[in-house]
Amino acid sequence: MIPVDYHLHTNLCGHASGGIEDYLNQAVRKGIKEVGFSDHFPLYFLAPGEIIPDYAMSENQLPLYVELVKQGAGVSPIKVKLGIEVDYVPGFEKKLAFELAAYPFDYVIGSVHFIDGWGFDNPAEIGEYGKRELGAVYEQYFKLVQRAALSGLFDIMAHPDLIKKFGFRLERDLSPLYEETARAFKKAGVCVEVNSAGLRYPAREIYPAPSLLAIFYRHGIPVTLGSDAHAPDQVGAGLDEALKLVRAAGYREITSFNRRKRNLIRI
């Protein structure tokens, strides 16, 4: 049985389908014990009037999102948590902290999808990989992930090696980058998301890779689970495999959250 799926999106973000009820119904059918919605937080770092189409909910949709999740929690036979996924962009930490404080989130997921304005996981921008030195891209990505964790803004770090999404892999040993990231996560006190969405993309691998997860385990960093569902039929998808990976790394507990406080679930 899947204990939690903490990474569900909704149609409010503009690039997912289905409403909250649809996701909850699927979670019940799959026997998932607890779910959390973590749709994309408004893009707080853009200049006034600037937009990224179909990427995140707007500022005026955020209160609606919170209310809809609360309503869903009120009628669902399974536990429902209010989460949010937030892109980390350096220089906007104070603004983000202020905006997050206005809502009663159970957890805040931090993620990195942009490197100097380049949406590296956007299929429309995949051509940029051919213009950059891949080693430098990996270095930049992991430095941003580390900085995000150390900002103190986030409870969970999402898909920590998302940079592999399209299958662009470095030939060299990534252990030094992985160790550096694990040390930053440990210092920051964050939880790591084991995210099954990588199985649906050219990476064909869960985030994080087994070798990175093993390093996280060695550093004592807690984990949770997320399918990163962008459609109701993706709820829980791949999490059986993710749970096997977690156990193989040595973990015997999964982290859940309530009002940004951790609890442990035996697996």
Q: What is the pLDDT of residue 213?
A: 98
Please say whether the beta carbons of 88 and 133 come within 8 A: no
Which tokens in the block code for residue 62?
A: 């955020």
Q: Where are the alpha helices (DSSP H) in 8-158?
A: 20-30, 62-75, 93-100, 134-150
- Which residue type, as a one-letter code, is found at position 46? L
Quick: pLDDT tens for 191-242. Answer: 999 999 999 999 999 999 999 999 999 999 999 999 999 999 999 999 999 9
Q: Whole-angstrom Cα distance, residue 177 to residue 134?
A: 14
Strands 156-157 and 107-111, bridge-based pairing: parallel
Phi, psi of 145 (to 5 degrees): -60, -40
- What pLDDT, on a 0 to 100 scale, did the predictor assign at position 1? 86
Contact status, residue 38 vs residue 16, Cβ threshold 8 Å:
no
**pLDDT tens, 232-262?**
999 999 999 999 999 999 999 999 999 999 9
So what's the pLDDT on residue 28? Answer: 97
Query: What are the domain boundaries of the chain?
Result: 4-266
Strands 223-226 and 191-195: parallel
- In whole angstroms, what is the distance from residue 96 CA to residue 196 CA? 27
CATH architecture of the domain formed by 4-266: Alpha-Beta Barrel (3.20)
**Does residue 216 sit in helix, strand or coil?**
helix
pLDDT digits (tens, 9 = 90+) for 132-167: 999 999 999 999 999 999 999 999 999 999 999 999
- State what percent of residues in the chain have pLDDT above 90: 99
